């Protein structure tokens, strides 16, 4: 589910490379969503002017994303400020309709907020169970151990929420690498969690949307072809890089005892989120019911909740700002358009993108499942799994480092997409 911050300094060269890469992605977004392919405003709001072929809303959104990339230590302030500016601008065009539109997103925002806070609690419970410290016993030696860990994350994400899979993967990596985890490996963890959910109708909100809209689960499952290639490519590169940085340490500390009660609480949380997602389409409710039930057995780590609030509000501001963008019409359905959706998903919330694609019709839905699922992994704030993992690893919010050290993620995206195109072919449904 993709509703789903660092004290390390980059060199001047790294800053320049990262900034140019970020601006390049934003430029591609602006070119792809020109007035020729965009009509009206987000959900019926009055559209603004489009000087030089680029809507004013996209200019503001792009500046906000650049600000997040450059001032990553103040990403919450930038996103909240950017959202308020965009809201005021849309109010000048649509009046109180803009406020009503934002208010209409309350369910999404509340669910997202509850999930990110709840999974921060889950991560602490999983870490305090000491089970991650036993993990190295079963992982292979060398770089293959890191690769195997990423495969485990992808498999978990096929039947868990992908935020949960990413958080669990981050906790395991923190333990087996004794806290020295590279940003490139963190990017690979997020990519693996998103890849695992891309082919499962219960692994990502977007694939669940496709399923509810009538797309057969077997069609969505074809996305596993591209996802498997992407995990293999990104996982091998990231595993080797992480092994050079810090090899897996296989010896558990003396006297280590696994807290099975905390493991039970973790399982209860995961089950609660999954059941609530199916029954009431509100996984955060089931997650927090499980947290309070678990509190009867072990103390709830409320400190983790406090630490995750700012990161959760950051993503909510980003999602609400994205909802104000004039994207009520996409380019004509084709495989290049689907490929572009994945690039846009790196900086734009994938839930409205999926909804727009469903409304338009004419897509090959297994490709849509892959691109919107995996595409957000290319930048840390492109998926809520990336935002969630940044709570435990603040250095992940350095967009320049994510782009430079996690270069293997977009390469894997391209290879996975074109492998699908070669093996499965583009077979769109009728409009």
Indicate whether 290 pLDDT > 90.
yes
Is 3 domain-assigned?
no
Q: What per-residue confidence (pLDDT) applies to 11?
A: 31
SS3 127: helix
The residue segments making up the domain with residue 335 are: 12-423
DSSP 385-423: HHHHHHHH-GGGG-HHHHHHHTTHHHHHHHHHHHHHHHH
Per residue in 259-283, pLDDT tens?
889 989 988 988 888 788 778 878 8
Q: What per-residue confidence (pLDDT) applies to 21?
A: 37
| 338 pLDDT tier (thresholds 50, 70, 90) | very high
Indicate whether 151 pLDDT > 90.
yes
Q: What per-residue confidence (pLDDT) applies to 329?
A: 53
The structure tokens 């999930």 sit at: 115
| 29 pLDDT tier (thresholds 50, 70, 90) | very low
Rounded to whole angstroms, the Cα distance separating 321 from 83 reads 5
The structure tokens 């005892």 sit at: 257
Calculate mean pLDDT across residues 285-309.
89
Q: How many helices (H) and strands (E) does the chain have?
A: 20, 0
Q: What per-residue confidence (pLDDT) applies to 18?
A: 36
Is 386 domain-assigned?
yes
Indicate whether 351 pLDDT > 80.
no
> Quick check: 240 and 188 in contact, CB under 8 A?
no
Q: Which helix (H) or strand (E) holds 338?
A: helix 335-345
Indicate whether 7 pLDDT > 60.
no
Is 1 domain-assigned?
no
Is 260 domain-assigned?
yes
Q: Quick one: what percent of the chain has pLDDT higher than 90?
A: 29
Task: Using a cut of 0.85, tell me whether the model's pTM lies above it.
Answer: no
Task: Sort 157 into a burial class: Cβ within 10 Å, 0-12 / 13-18 / 19+.
Answer: buried
Calculate mean pLDDT across residues 3-9.
36
> Quick check: 384 and 112 in contact, CB under 8 A?
yes
Is 186 domain-assigned?
yes
Per residue in 314-331, pLDDT tens?
878 877 887 787 765 557
Is 80 domain-assigned?
yes
**Tally of domains in the chain:** 1
Is 430 domain-assigned?
no
Rounded to whole angstroms, the Cα distance separating 319 from 408 reads 26
Q: What per-residue confidence (pLDDT) applies to 33?
A: 40
Indicate whether 368 pLDDT > 60.
yes
| 215 pLDDT tier (thresholds 50, 70, 90) | confident
Indicate whether 81 pLDDT > 70.
yes
The tokens describing 109, both together, are 């925002």
Q: What per-residue confidence (pLDDT) applies to 253?
A: 66
- Nearest CA to 248 out of 126, 388, 392, 148 is that of 148
The tokens describing 90, both together, are 């849309």
| 219 pLDDT tier (thresholds 50, 70, 90) | confident
Q: What per-residue confidence (pLDDT) applies to 28?
A: 37
Q: Work out whether the CA dihedral 328, 196, 168, 231 comes out positive or negative.
A: negative
- Nearest CA to 386 out of 65, 4, 126 is that of 4
Is 351 domain-assigned?
yes
Give CA torsion, residues 188, 193, 194, 198, to 10 deg: 130
- Nearest CA to 135 out of 267, 258, 261 is that of 258
């Amino acid at each position: 589910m993709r509703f789903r911050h660092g004290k390390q300094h980059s060199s001047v060269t790294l800053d320049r490379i990262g900034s140019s890469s970020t601006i390049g992605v934003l430029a591609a977004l602006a070119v792809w969503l020109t007035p020729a392919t965009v009509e009206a405003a987000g959900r019926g709001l009055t559209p603004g002017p489009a000087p030089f072929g680029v809507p004013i809303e996209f200019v503001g959104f792009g500046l906000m994303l650049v600000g997040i990339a450059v001032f990553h230590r103040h990403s919450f302030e930038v996103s909240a400020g950017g959202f308020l500016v965009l809201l005021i601008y849309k109010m000048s065009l649509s009046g109180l309709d803009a406020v009503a539109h934002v208010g209409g997103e309350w369910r999404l925002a509340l669910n997202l907020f509850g999930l990110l806070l709840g999974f921060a609690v889950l991560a602490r419970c999983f870490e305090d169970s000491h089970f991650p410290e036993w993990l190295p016993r079963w992982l292979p030696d060398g770089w293959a151990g890191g690769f195997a860990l990423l495969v485990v994350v992808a498999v978990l994400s096929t039947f868990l929420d992908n935020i949960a899979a990413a958080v669990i993967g981050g906790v395991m990596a923190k333990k087996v690498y004794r806290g020295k985890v590279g940003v490139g490996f963190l990017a690979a963890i997020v990519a693996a969690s998103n890849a695992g959910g891309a082919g499962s109708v219960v692994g990502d909100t977007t694939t669940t949307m496709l399923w509810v809209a009538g797309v057969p689960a077997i069609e969505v499952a074809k996305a596993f072809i591209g996802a498997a290639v992407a995990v293999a490519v990104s996982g091998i590169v990231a595993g080797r890089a992480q092994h050079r940085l810090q090899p897996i340490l296989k010896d558990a500390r003396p006297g280590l005892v696994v807290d099975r009660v905390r493991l039970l609480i973790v399982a209860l949380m995961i089950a609660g989120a999954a059941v609530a997602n199916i029954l009431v389409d509100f996984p955060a409710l089931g997650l927090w019911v499980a947290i309070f039930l678990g509190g009867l057995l072990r103390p709830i780590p409320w400190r983790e909740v406090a630490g995750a609030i700012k990161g959760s509000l950051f993503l909510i501001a980003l999602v609400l700002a994205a909802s104000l963008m004039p994207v009520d019409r996409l380019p004509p359905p084709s495989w290049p358009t689907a490929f572009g959706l994945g690039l846009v998903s790196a900086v734009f919330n994938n839930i409205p993108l999926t909804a727009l694609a469903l409304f338009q019709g004419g897509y090959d839905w297994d490709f849509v499942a892959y691109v919107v699922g995996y595409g957000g992994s290319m930048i840390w704030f492109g998926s809520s799994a990336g935002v969630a993992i940044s709570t435990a690893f603040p250095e992940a919010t350095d967009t320049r480092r994510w782009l430079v050290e996690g270069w293997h993620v977009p390469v894997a995206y391209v290879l996975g997409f074109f492998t699908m195109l070669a093996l499965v072919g583009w077979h769109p449904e009728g409009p």
